[in-house]
Amino acid sequence: MHSTRLIKLLKSFPHADIRRFLDFVRSPFYNKNKKVIRLAEFVLKYHPEFNPPVFDEEAVFKKLFPGEKYEYQKIKNLLSDLLNLAYNYLRTKPVYFTEFTSELNLIVNLRSLRVLDLHEKILLATEKKLELLKTRDGIYLYNKFLLADQRQILNTIKKPNANEGFNETFNAQFELSLLNLLKQYTIMKHVSIENDKKFSLKMYEEVLGYIKKHSDFENITLKEYRLIALLLEEKTEEHYRELKRIYIEDYDTLDEEDSYMALFYLNSFCAERYNNLADEKYIYELRDLFKHAFNKDAVSLGTFHYPDFIHYAKIFIRAGDIDTAQEFIKKYFNKIDEQHKDSTMNHLNALINFQQGNCEKALYYISKVNFPSFFMKLQVKLIHLQLLIDTQNYEEARAAIHSFSQFLSRESTLNKLYKSAIKNFLKLCKVLIGVSEISSAKERRKAAAEFRISSEKLNSNLFGIKHWLFEKTSKL
């Protein structure tokens, strides 16, 4: 029985749900089969492990049908009935975005029954309840529209020619529609930029023109996605700062998903400024954003993929905040896939030691990293090459440059700009090794000056490669 869908589902139920589910099964409105009730009472007392000495279909059959000959089909049908009741229990259990469904059912049914005094009373109470909610997301706007629509219908019934409530209903519908459009536009726009993919964004230019002219939205989530859309389109510091303020100051009024998306786009903006403009302040901007997410326990939505985990920790490390990096690793390390844990920890140990100047130790750790992801392999190869040069293992570094070049030539999915930047970086690394090996101090200074000019022309700071070159230049 342990492998049945019923037991797998019931194992996931919190203890409070088990009590409520038993009440649900006992309710004659949902179930009139007394054998199913007895089955539930027997099975649920073993929650959450479901590990009695004997726990199979035959043992349960004997409990429910004492003295009868075992019939598999009988017990199978009862187990199936109980599973369907568990599904029905979850269908009736309110979740955040269905919180007002029962109230709306009540309101519509009262109106349909023409009990208008009770209809209006419940409608008013539900409107007040909605306005007490702290989170003002798309679900809030959806419920606001439905209640405004019910208010408009009530006004029409009471005063057919009054035309009351139309503006309120339209405004609620407009805000909801605009928010949904902006959510879809922004994710498609992001994907089109990242993957060089074209989408048919109907009415995008018209909506973009509207939100450029209008910023006086009351709803905080609509304000957020307006800024995300403008940030993607115009990439200005002003829109970044406004969005960051909402993310930090109005965090508690945002839904979990919407706050995560704000961080997602803020992260993209900072990464672009750091990678393309080599502006180091954005590492500290990201440190502050990630620290806020860490303090709110909002660093991921569900599964924590190892590249994202490394990205968070890497920002703390690069900003010199090793303590926070260690706290972060300790708290979330067990959330990543088991198969990637060793490489992830070795990678982070390499970064920490690299940051602290322990290059030999960092080189040891990075040599033990093996990720399946091409993008992660790329980062590992870059760090490995930098460490070989920092530890003056120049022959190994030359071999690594050759191997790296072949690795790049075989890869067709890498963004052309990224590939070009890394190829130029590899050429500069060759030059850097040559400069470092010049024995004459005078000749080395001259070569170093030329190298510095070449380094400044590198068109990308992807993964901090330009900053690393500047650092090496200062030591030549």
* Alpha helix stretches (DSSP H) within 281-373: 281-295, 306-318, 322-332, 341-355, 359-366
Q: Give 157's Cβ-side CA count (13 Å radius).
A: 14
Alpha carbon distance 28, 39 (integer Å): 15
Alpha carbon distance 238, 244 (integer Å): 10
Strand, helix or coil at 431?
helix
Residue 241: which H helix or E strand, with range? helix 237-249
Alpha carbon distance 244, 285 (integer Å): 10
Please tell me the predicted confidence (pLDDT) of residue 99.
Answer: 79
Strand, helix or coil at 13?
coil
Alpha carbon distance 272, 27 (integer Å): 58
Contact between residue 233 and residue 255 where contact means Cβ atoms under 8 Å apart = no
Residue 384 in tokens: 């490995």
Contact between residue 243 and residue 276 where contact means Cβ atoms under 8 Å apart = no
206, 211, 212, 216: CA torsion to nearest 10: 150
Please tell me the predicted confidence (pLDDT) of residue 164.
Answer: 73
Alpha carbon distance 459, 428 (integer Å): 12
Please tell me the predicted confidence (pLDDT) of residue 52.
Answer: 65
Q: Which residues contact 182 (CB under 8 A, 6 or more apart)?
A: 207, 211, 222, 225, 226, 228, 229
> Per-residue b/e over 61-81, b at no fewer than 16 CB within 10 Å?
beebbeeeeeeeeebeebbeb
Please tell me the predicted confidence (pLDDT) of residue 150.
Answer: 92
Residue 113 in tokens: 């029954």
Per-residue pLDDT of the chain (476 residues; tens, 9 = 90+): 667 889 889 999 999 999 999 999 999 999 999 999 999 998 898 888 887 666 678 888 888 888 888 888 988 999 999 999 999 999 888 777 787 888 999 999 999 999 999 999 999 999 999 999 999 999 999 999 999 999 999 888 888 776 777 888 999 999 999 999 999 999 999 988 877 778 889 999 999 999 999 999 999 999 999 999 999 999 999 999 999 999 999 999 999 999 999 999 999 999 999 998 889 999 999 999 999 999 999 998 777 899 999 999 999 999 999 999 999 999 999 999 999 999 999 999 999 999 999 999 999 999 999 999 999 999 999 999 999 999 999 999 999 999 999 999 888 777 788 889 999 999 999 999 999 999 898 898 899 999 999 999 998 999 999 999 999 988 87
Contact between residue 295 and residue 265 where contact means Cβ atoms under 8 Å apart = no
Q: What global pTM score does this model have? A: 0.79
Q: List the chain domain ranges.
A: 5-93, 373-476
Please tell me the predicted confidence (pLDDT) of residue 253.
Answer: 94
Please tell me the predicted confidence (pLDDT) of residue 163.
Answer: 72
Q: Look at the block and give the residue holding tokens 């979740």.
A: 95
Of 42, 78, 37, 80, the C-alpha closest to 59 is 42
Strand, helix or coil at 321?
coil
Please tell me the predicted confidence (pLDDT) of residue 2.
Answer: 63
